[in-house]
Structure 1
Amino acid sequence: MNTLASTATDAAHVPNARDAVRALRPSQIREVANAGFGNPDVLPFWFGESDRPTLQFIRDAAREALSAGDTFYTHNLGIAPLRTAIACHVSALHGSTDANEIAVTSAGVNALMLASQLVVGAGDRVVALTPLWPNIVEIPKILGAQVDTVSLEYGPAGWQLDLDRLLDALTPDTRLLIVNSPNNPTGWVMRRDEQEAVLQHCRRHGIWVIADEVYERLYYGDEGTNGCAPSFLDIASRDERVICVNSFSKAYLMTGWRLGWIVAPRALMDDLAKLVEYNTSCAPAFVQHAGIVALNSGESMTQALVQDLRVSRDHLVQALQQLPGVDVMAPPGAMYLFFSMPGATTSLALCKTLVREAGLGLAPGSAFGPEGEGFIRWCYACDIERIDKGVARLRGFLDGHRRKEGIA
């Protein structure tokens, strides 16, 4: 057989994923973390999770369910007691919500995928507010959608939304708007008046809204209700084009449990159940029982967590503000500082260097889209002693590079 012909034939049969999948961005957070995994000398602040394990009473609930043999399939939308518990929780925070408007999911990110699958198809136009956790931007692309971004702007008041710019981007041909508030990575929180303007505009043009509100309880501002960030659920009726996504991961220290929920119009639930069936079938029963206990008995834990996070945030802001060239402000929500520093214009390279030279694990701003380049993310969901060690390593790194450059 002709060699050139053979090569062409082989190339035509190379087993490749479809183009939309091959074009997805790999996670730069993972790329940096992989450079430090297995090294006990690296202080990791790169992932969005607390250094505390899930509290014992929640773990006990899962163990008891396992011991009772609760290891079988459940209803696609979740066991009735958990859906009821979530509905009561949401009602207390955001107004009357029925269990028939709740779907239990296998993690918050699974909820985002399911919500997107409900309303987005190939060729649809999606608008997302950035910088943003990359999973949220990439999910619609998996479905063949076009994702356009509107960036928050950083200035003397921290990260802010240009509302007019967002509304201009929400043209009548837009299928979906995705809003993450409180925001990962910036900690920005959408104000109530901004939500009202956006919702009114989306109603006018028939645009769906997916609100990722997994950080709603990690909120340090005055606006909102019951210690909760302003939510689209506060102002939207339950039968309109608004889907809210939430998770047990952050407020209940359950990142590894992979349990979340969706609040959506009741008219979507039959179709949502089909999507759950064809994605995961159901969340594990014993994990769902742990979720019930977290909701019913975990409020004091969540309130204490938020207070601890506020202290850690303020401590880290004050410490970083003492470092030359660092520009940082305290955000009103989430558990991250998104700040600029010398070298952050190539943030991925800088974060790899920090791992290698300083034993410090941070997340590059470019991981959250090109709008995040020039910034670094630091997760402060840890104790003060660990934060101080990290700041000391960053100070040493900056001092060393200043000496190399001959800067006094």
Structure 2
Amino acid sequence: MRFTVLNLEESRIREVANAGMGRDGVLAFWFGESDEDTPEVVRQAAVDSLRRGETFYSPNLGLPELRAEIAAYMSRLHRPVASDRIAVTSGGVNALMLAVQALVEAGDEVVAVTPVWPNLTAQPLVMGANLRCVSLRPRPDGAWGLDLQELLAAITPQTRLLIVNAPNNPTGWTLSHDEQRAILARCRETGTWILADEVYERLYYADSSHGCAPSFLDFAEPEDRLVVVHSFSKSFLMTGWRLGWMVMPASMAPHMGKLIEFNTSCVSVFTQRAGLAALAHAEEITPRVVAHLKRCSDTLVPLLQAVPGVEVAAAPGGMYAFFRMVGQGDSLEVAKRLVVEAGLGLAPGSAFGPEAQGWLRWCFASKDPERLVQGAGRLKTWLGV
């Protein structure tokens, strides 16, 4: 087995979850998913597809009708996107891995903005790339911010790929349009590809008038060296369906079709039918999801801010409260202790990068906000304040 694969770190989020699964009474907030069921109209579309016997292979890039609907959906949110720029994938993580496989070779330089969901830094390493990280930094109020000039300086003609996730998991940090324009301009100068993980773009609370966070797709040209990844998981409550998509230059799509063939062949038809139903009801489902998540954030964050020694800020995007506690040490050990001693399951900050050591991620996507109240109470009791 390859040395790079043997030396990949296991998910520290999973490590904590494994310590808590099966333990009675644990309030689990470690994974990045809601505990609310997928909407009935979406589930029924998959059931109907199965009853029609749609259990055969589909086109590598996805059903033409789903690619068209995704393109129309993206065009409503951003500049027009043609369906020949869309590939349907087996989840957002599959789209990210496919993009890295398509763009990165062993020895290439990849720059990533961290802290970030660990898959995004592991994927270039799997390909044998040399990874450089540019860190967000916490501010006194608990929010995280980017030193734009530091990032721009890190992107050179030797940089093959820039990976950026905004709204960010775990911090909730979000790029502005001005920052995106500067990043795109720099990458045009250096010939660097951008892989933008924008799966949380609809989970955005800072400005609800536009309906989503700022995106590179709002101003990028169709043939820019840009791949934007999305997922049905968060905005449509479809984590377990493993359905995502990517937007790329049209010239890249035929080659992506080949790569999908050699990875998963295609996405199951009944899953794609569920995606079509989700898009048909997008403006019923997603605004309700976002409004509920905002209520969850408004419930949890003030409770955490009221705990002495806790540093946290309400995030403008995403589904997480990212916080640290004065006097606590290694976040992995703290997370494990919280499971055992408080019945509280959180994700350790160190899972997202060394700069997040000492922080904890709390997924507030709870169907019943009372669970958040109970969890905050358990944390306060555990801290003895």
TM interval, short-chain normalised: over 0.9
The CA deviation at 1:342 is 3.4
User: What's the CA shift string for 1:298-327, capped at 9, x where partnerless?
Assistant: 322110111111111121110001111100
Pick one of 169, 180, 183 that aligns with 1:198: 183
Aligned partner of 2:331 in structure 1 is 347
State how 1:43-82 maps to structure 2 within 5 Å. 43-82=27-66
- Given the two structures, how large is their TM-score scaled by the length of structure 2? 0.98
Question: 2:79 touches 2:219 (CA, 8 Å); kept in 1?
Answer: no
Counterpart secondary structure, 1:340: strand
Question: 1:345 touches 1:375 (CA, 8 Å); kept in 2?
Answer: no
Question: 1:343 touches 1:350 (CA, 8 Å); kept in 2?
Answer: no
State how 1:158-237 maps to structure 2 within 5 Å. 158-222=143-207, 226-237=210-221
C-alpha separation in 2, matches of 1:273 and 1:253: 27
Whether 2:295 is the aligned partner of 1:311: answer: yes
User: What's the CA shift string for 1:149-200, capped at 9, x where partnerless?
Assistant: 0000111351110001101111111000001000000000001110000000
* Structure 1, unpaired ranges of 5+: 1-16, 403-408
Pick one of 118, 131, 144 that aligns with 1:147: 131
Larger radius of gyration: 1
Question: 1:178 touches 1:211 (CA, 8 Å); kept in 2?
Answer: yes
C-alpha separation in 2, matches of 1:201 and 1:345: 38
Alpha carbons of structure 1 residues 168 and 344: separation in structure 2 relative to 1, 3 Å = farther
Aligned partner of 1:379 in structure 2 is 363
Please report the RMSD computed on the Cα atoms of aligned residues, expressed in angstroms: 1.0
Counterpart secondary structure, 1:149: strand
User: What's the CA shift string for 1:240-277, capped at 9, x where partnerless?
Assistant: 10000000000000000000001000100111001000
Give the letter for the 1:198 counterpart.
I
C-alpha separation in 2, matches of 1:369 and 1:386: 28
Alpha carbons of structure 1 residues 376 and 205: separation in structure 2 relative to 1, 3 Å = same
Question: 1:344 touches 1:373 (CA, 8 Å); kept in 2?
Answer: no
Aligned partner of 1:324 in structure 2 is 308
* Structure 2, unpaired ranges of 5+: none
Aligned partner of 1:4 in structure 2 is none
C-alpha separation in 2, matches of 1:249 and 1:313: 19
Whether 2:353 is the aligned partner of 1:361: answer: no
Identity of aligned residues (%): 55
Counterpart secondary structure, 1:337: strand
Question: 2:198 touches 2:215 (CA, 8 Å); kept in 1?
Answer: yes
The CA deviation at 1:226 is 2.6
- Shift >4 Å, 4+ stretches: none
Pick one of 70, 80, 102 that aligns with 2:86: 102
C-alpha separation in 1, matches of 2:211 and 2:173: 16
Aligned partner of 2:67 in structure 1 is 83
Aligned partner of 1:244 in structure 2 is 228
Counterpart secondary structure, 1:262: strand
Counterpart secondary structure, 2:329: helix
- Given the two structures, how large is their TM-score scaled by the length of structure 1? 0.92
C-alpha separation in 2, matches of 1:301 and 1:85: 16
C-alpha separation in 2, matches of 1:143 and 1:199: 24
